[in-house]
Amino acid sequence: MGTETADVIVVGAGIMGVSTAYHLARLGVRRVVVLERDTVCSGSTALASGGIRHQYANRLGIELTTHSIVTYERFRDEFGVDPNFRQHGYLILIATEEQLAVSRRSVALQRELGVAVELLDAEATRKLCPYLRTDDLLGATYTPRDGYADPYLATTAIAARARDMGVVVHQGCEVRTFTRAGDRVTGVVTDAGTLEAPAVVIATGAWSGVVGKLAGVDIPVVPHRRHKFITAPFPEDRIPAETPFVIDQHQGASLRREGAGLLLGGGRRDEPASFSTDVDRTIEPRVIERAVHRAPALAEARLMRGWAGLYEMTPDQTGIVSAMPGIAGLYVIAGFSGHGFMHGPIAGQLMAELIVHGRSVTMDAVPLDIARFARGQAHVEPLTFV
Ligand SMILES: Cc1cc2nc3c(=O)[nH]c(=O)nc-3n(C[C@H](O)[C@H](O)[C@H](O)COP(=O)(O)OP(=O)(O)OC[C@H]3O[C@@H](n4cnc5c(N)ncnc54)[C@H](O)[C@@H]3O)c2cc1C
């Protein structure tokens, strides 16, 4: 690389980095360079379940989805690739009075914001998904427009379109440190040379805390390992192909169709922060037990393989799209705490707007500002499932 110059450097090519680069190009920024130490979509985005849902308790999460879902719905028109968005709905199960109270409030807010959502009792939940055990449930919330898309197809397609628009993507290029002139960022040093730019965006997912340290700033993002398991082919007359993405929040488990098999989620809430993505086989029996409890037909299913990826957790389980206070030209888009795939389209747009216009335009990005932590204004979003 030697020494190059750019208008904006984006560090990291997951959904956040490529979405930011694409929107910068759309806003007319000419020299956007993305630096990725591995390959496009090789971090958490590649390991995600692809879930896209409106079901949040706070206005922010709902509005981020409202803005992002249209991109996934019209993805082929914009990016020329079908991201396999299956709008089979999201079903979040309610097992306790406390969850029911949160659901009532969340449903009211979601409706106020124009989301089609139903609060089902246990009987209606069983009617919708007859394979679910519901005798220990109070009901569920159901959003039929939600579903899941393929994160790899989507992210690589956004990267390809960004390249078509002039964005340069350097893969196999790790950022080692940042260069500064006083309180202004001036570029980065990579293992392949230096790159100068007046604006640098940290979009390094679960590694953002570590990368922030390289720039001398504190980004409160820590890694949290999360597992997924996939079953061998399972008959569709037992669990239909169009079944919703089911979140069993009480048991800390999830279930959706993935082709001929089922994708099961689970993990430990008390998992210590670490960058390990080794599969912890000891959790398998618990994942199976919970899945079979909720969908007894799965007693006949066989687990085929599992993987683990990293959630990028912030203290309030909400993302950061922000200028870095105290260092002019340094920005961060990270920390979406396990729900960044769905919010990638709007988050990248807001990041690009902040850089180009100095403020967000499409929706209010102030609640995503990093200064909220220092101000003590960080409120945990209840409908996140760690
Ligand atoms: C098991 C699992 C299931 C999930 N399910 C969902 C879901 O259903 N719905 C949803 O919305 N979200 C889900 N998520 C969360 C989602 O994956 C993340 O929120 C999102 O992918 C974060 O994107 P990102 O671009 O910030 O990070 P990443 O995709 O991790 O990208 C960061 C990139 O930065 C690169 N990088 C790091 N350090 C450097 C460096 N020094 N120099 C250059 N490059 C560097 C990395 O190689 C990586 O490619 C899930 C996550 C996991 C792990």
| 3-state helix/strand/coil string of 174-217 | CEEEEEEECCEEEEEEECCEEEECCEEEECCHHHHHHHHHHCCC
Domain presence at residue 65: no
As a whole-number percent, the residues of the chain with pLDDT over 70 amount to: 99
Regarding whether 288 and 242 lie in a shared domain, the answer is: yes
Regarding whether 238 and 128 lie in a shared domain, the answer is: yes
The predicted-structure confidence for 232-288, as pLDDT tens digits, reads as follows 999 999 999 999 999 999 888 999 999 999 999 977 778 889 999 999 999 999 999
Regarding whether 243 and 358 lie in a shared domain, the answer is: no
Last residue of a domain, one of 288, 310, 332: 310
* Ligand 1 centroid – CA 23 distance (Å): 18
Provide the CATH number for the domain around residue 345: 3.50.50.60
Q: Which of 10, 45, 67, 271 to mutate to test the pocket of ligand 1 (most atoms within 8 A of CB)?
A: 45
* Ligand 1 centroid – CA 145 distance (Å): 24
Last residue of a domain, one of 290, 310, 330: 310
The predicted-structure confidence for 87-106, as pLDDT tens digits, reads as follows 999 999 999 999 999 999 99
- Kindly give the number of the ligand 1 atom that is closest to the alpha carbon of 148: 8
Regarding whether 164 and 122 lie in a shared domain, the answer is: no
Provide the CATH number for the domain around residue 239: 3.30.9.10
Note the pLDDT of residue 3.
Answer: 67
Q: Is 231 in the pocket of ligand 1 (CB under 6 A)?
A: no
Residues of the domain holding 306: 83-147+224-310
Give the Cα separation of 37 and 13 in Å (integer): 9
Regarding whether 234 and 111 lie in a shared domain, the answer is: yes
Lowest mean pLDDT among 1-10, 163-172, 296-305, 342-351: 1-10
Domain presence at residue 355: yes
Regarding whether 209 and 99 lie in a shared domain, the answer is: no
Q: Is 43 in the pocket of ligand 1 (CB under 6 A)?
A: yes
Alpha helix ranges (H) inside the chain = 15-26, 44-47, 59-73, 75-79, 97-112, 122-128, 151-164, 208-214, 284-294, 340-357, 371-375
Q: Which of 230, 341, 343 to mutate to test the pocket of ligand 1 (most atoms within 8 A of CB)?
A: 341
pTM over 0.95: yes
Domain presence at residue 273: yes
Cβ contact 92:55 at 8 Å: yes
Domain presence at residue 117: yes
* Ligand 1 atom 50, closest CA: 48
- Kindly give the number of the ligand 1 atom that is closest to the alpha carbon of 175: 42
Domain presence at residue 231: yes
Regarding whether 324 and 214 lie in a shared domain, the answer is: yes
Last residue of a domain, one of 295, 310, 325: 310
Q: How many domains does the chain have?
A: 2
The predicted-structure confidence for 204-231, as pLDDT tens digits, reads as follows 999 999 999 999 999 999 999 999 999 9
Regarding whether 332 and 285 lie in a shared domain, the answer is: no
